[in-house]
Amino acid sequence: MSNPVSLQNVANMRALTPLDFLDRAVEAFPARTAVVWQGNRWSYAEFAGIVTAMIEMLQENNIGSGDVVAIMSGNRPEMLAAHYAIPAVGAILNALNTRLDPAATEYILSHSGAKLVLADPARASVTGEAATKVGVPHFVFSPGDTPKESLSLLEASPVTKCSFAAGIKDEFQPIALNYTSGTTGKPKGVLLNHRGAYLNTLGNIISLGFDAQTVYLWTLPMFHVNGWGHTWAVTAAGGVHVCLDKVIPADIFQLIETYGVTHMACAPVVLYMLLNDPARKLRDPSRPLRVASGGAAPTSTLITDMEALGFEFIHLYGLTESFGPTTMQQLNPQEMLEPAEQRARLLSRQGVRHITANIVKVVDNDGQQVPADGATLGEIVLCGNTIMSGYHQDPQATQQAFKGGVFHTGDLAVLHPDGRIEIRDRTKDLIISGGENISSLEVEDALHSHPDVSMAAVVAVPDEKWGEIPCAFIEAHPNSGLDEEVLLEFCRERLARFKVPRIFVFAELPKTATGKIQKLALRESAKKLASPHGETQP
């Protein structure tokens, strides 16, 4: 090239950050409703005022670039505002699981190096105790227990001119530090950057069909991978955030009816709660509502029942390390004509990557792509712009996760001829009995097809003779009278004999705040049921 030109300068390069979506919303439609909570409404200009008030509070407390600010809160306007205010001052948002106890909270505050803690009144006792032990300032959203600490933001004056994104100069700087749920051990701190959050937000908008008519119900905790990025995506689309303090089926159905909810997202456990609640009679199936679900593979029975309520089901798959969802499964027009059972079977797959997500492969032990035969098992690996920067203060775990130039998910899947992936199990959940691999998901799907089973989880029990055998933990519908003999016969009719659970335990399943079944706890319980002589307990 005879006259080379600069390919990058201040005119054509600006750091990507999801904060820019709120700047645009205030500029483009300041009077449009942004947030609804407890019967109150805030416009985008009024919401920007809440964000500005939080920024001022952070600056007054010397919070700046690189500082970690922790927050433990339900889905209320201040929690949503924190997703903009904390990054706007260059700090890192550390949203805490609302079910953490003081000891776990103290661990995360210490490990993250948090400089300040925010909380809603319901969690203030937990965060207050932990903050005191770590020695960091603690503020409680109004109404707080102590007037001095109470943080009143919701009456802030509207803001019609803002530039929350102006302070972001490096799009690779951290925007969030999210700790894994800890279902398999000590939680790890996952560092996410502004660039990945921006791109994942756009992917969510396109994949889920968010637009200016979107009314999004917050059944998904905002602390869970930043609400899978929907904290930013709904704003970018100009939709309405309908905040929900607690997942109560009757409240959910009422909010859907009152505000004309068009979208929601949640773990399958929430959907089971909705299906099993009498308030479902409030639901008008003729009004379509798109439901995105992930965190655990849905069963065919769940999908079929949701369709009957008029819910359009989208199956998502992702991890904290991939900014939340990275693949999605939607049916094409031809598949929508299939019988209900076939549609449900197809929707239980994880599908293909969404438009801005990572490269997704299913590889063997040598790192080679498995054949697209729907049978050969391999590990899902990812690479791309929506992958974490690494684990906070854990270079060894980061290096292991990125081994071979890809991110290892630890999830086992097959690749179908149409290019869609289907998870068959987690590496830690695969049961190997007598040398045969047993997919816990396959057994769970069979159990869920029984009409009296509300939820089921299957784990391995150590066995001297077989190595491992499957153990099923069952939540039955109230007053169903379901027992072990009935389920045993039911499974024998649907599964190969070696896959049939040898032990059935009827109890409430332990779950995280995001609805994931805590299989680590179940595995520990199952160990106590094993016999040292290869003869399982009845």
Tens digits of per-residue pLDDT, 14-33? 999 999 999 999 999 999 99
Q: What is the pLDDT of residue 273?
A: 86
**456-462: average pLDDT:** 89
Cβ neighbours of residue 14 closer than 8 Å, sequence gap 6 or more:
none
DSSP state, 511?
A: B
Q: Give the model confidence (pLDDT) of 114-129 as tens digits.
A: 999 999 999 999 999 9
Give percent of the chain above pLDDT 90. Answer: 67
For residue 106, tell me if it sits in a domain: yes
Distance CA(138)–CA(128), nearest Å, equals 6
Three-state helix/strand/coil letters over 327-373 = EEECCCCCHHHCCHHHHHHHHCCCEEECCCCCEEEEECCCCCECCCC
Domain assignment present for residue 510? The answer is yes
- Are the beta carbons of 474 and 505 closer than 8 angstroms? yes
State the DSSP code for 419: S
Domain hosting residue 394, numbered range? 353-426
Asked whether the predicted pLDDT for residue 533 surpasses 50, the reply is: no
Compare 363 and 529 and report the one with higher pLDDT.
363
384 and 469, same domain (yes or no): no
CB-CB contact of 45 with 226 (8 Å) = no
C-alpha span between 278 and 260 (Å, rounded): 20
Considering the domain architecture, whether residues 127 and 145 belong to the same structural domain is answered as: yes
The share of the chain scoring above pLDDT 70, in percent, equals: 92
Residue 422, domain CATH: 2.30.38.10
In this structure, is residue 360 part of a structural domain? yes
Q: Are residues 70 and 185 in the same domain?
A: yes
Burial 404-429 (b: 16+ CB within 10 A, else e): eebbbbebbbbbbeeebbbbbbbebb
Is the model's pLDDT at 429 over the cut of 80?
Answer: no
Query: How confident is the model at residue 536, as a pLDDT?
Result: 43
Judge if 87 and 124 occupy the same domain: yes
Query: Is the same domain home to 397 and 454?
Result: no
Q: Is residue 299 part of a domain?
A: no
288 confidence band (pLDDT: 50, 70, 90): very high
Residue 110 lies in a domain: yes
Overall average pLDDT of the 252-267 stretch: 96
What digits encode the pLDDT tens for the residues 386-415? 999 999 999 999 999 999 999 999 888 999
**Of 283, 291, 303, 246, which is closest to residue 264 (Cα–Cα)?**
291
Query: Region 425-430: what's the mean pLDDT?
Result: 70
Q: Are residues 374 and 502 in the same domain?
A: no
Question: Are the beta carbons of 512 and 269 closer than 8 angstroms?
Answer: no
Give the span between the Cα atoms of 94 and 107, in whole angstroms: 13
The runs of H, that is alpha helices, within 29-141 are 44-60, 77-88, 102-112, 124-134
- Per-range mean pLDDT, top range of 40-44, 150-154, 345-349, 445-449: 40-44
74/231 Cα distance (integer angstroms): 13
Name every residue whose Cβ is closer than 8 Å to that of residue 410 and which is 6 or more positions away in sequence.
Answer: 379, 426, 427, 428
User: Which pTM value belongs to this model?
Assistant: 0.84
| Cβ count within 10 A of residue 138 | 20
3-state secondary structure of 141: strand
Chain segment 480-532, per-residue pLDDT in tens? 889 999 999 999 998 878 889 999 999 999 876 566 788 878 888 888 876 55
The pLDDT assigned to 518 comes to: 81
Shared domain check, 479 and 421: no
Tell me: do 102 and 85 sit in the same domain.
Answer: yes
pLDDT (0 to 100) of residue 296: 61
In a shared domain, residues 132 and 187:
yes
| Residues 373 and 405 both lie in one domain | yes
- Of 200, 227, 260, which residue constitutes the final position of a domain? 200
- What are the angstrom distances between the C-alpha of 106 and each of 102, 103, 116, 143? 6, 5, 12, 24
- Contacts of 138-147 with CB under 8 Å at 24 or more apart are 139/57, 141/73, 141/76, 141/78, 145/121
Question: Regarding beta strands 68-72 and 311-319, do their DSSP bridges make them parallel or antiparallel, or are they unpaired?
Answer: unpaired
Distance (Å, whole) CA 510 – CA 315: 23
137: domain CATH number?
A: 3.40.50.12780
Q: What pLDDT band is residue 64 in, cutting at 50, 70 and 90?
A: very high
Verify that 174 and 109 share a domain, yes or no.
Answer: yes
**Spatial separation of the C-alpha atoms in residues 114 and 91, rounded to whole Å:** 10
Indicate whether 340 belongs to any domain: no
Mean pLDDT of the chain: 90
User: What's the domain count of the chain?
Assistant: 3
Sign (positive/negative) of CA torsion 311, 232, 248, 482? positive
Last residue in a domain, options 426, 443, 464 = 426
Q: What is the pLDDT of residue 147?
A: 47
Residue 261: φ, ψ to 5°: -60, 135
Asked if 516 and 388 sit in the same domain, the reply is no
User: If pLDDT is split at 50, 70 and 90, which confidence band does 466 have?
Assistant: confident
- Burial class from Cβ neighbours inside 10 Å (0-12, 13-18, 19+) for residue 119 reads buried
pLDDT tens sequence across 203-250:
999 999 999 999 999 999 999 999 999 999 999 999 999 999 999 999
- Residues 68 and 342: their CA atoms lie apart, in Å, by 47
Listed residues 381, 410, 426: the one ending a domain: 426
Query: Is residue 144 over pLDDT 80?
Result: no
**DSSP code of 318?**
E
Nearest-CA neighbor of 193 among 11, 66, 294? 66
| Band of residue 300 on the pLDDT scale cut at 50, 70, 90 | low
CATH code where residue 510 lies? 3.30.300.30
User: Is residue 343 situated within a structural domain?
Assistant: no
- pLDDT at residue 157 tops 70: yes
Please tell me the predicted confidence (pLDDT) of residue 498: 81
Summarised one tens digit per residue, pLDDT across range 161-204 is 999 999 999 999 999 999 986 544 578 999 999 999 999 999 99
Classify residue 51: in a domain, yes or no.
yes
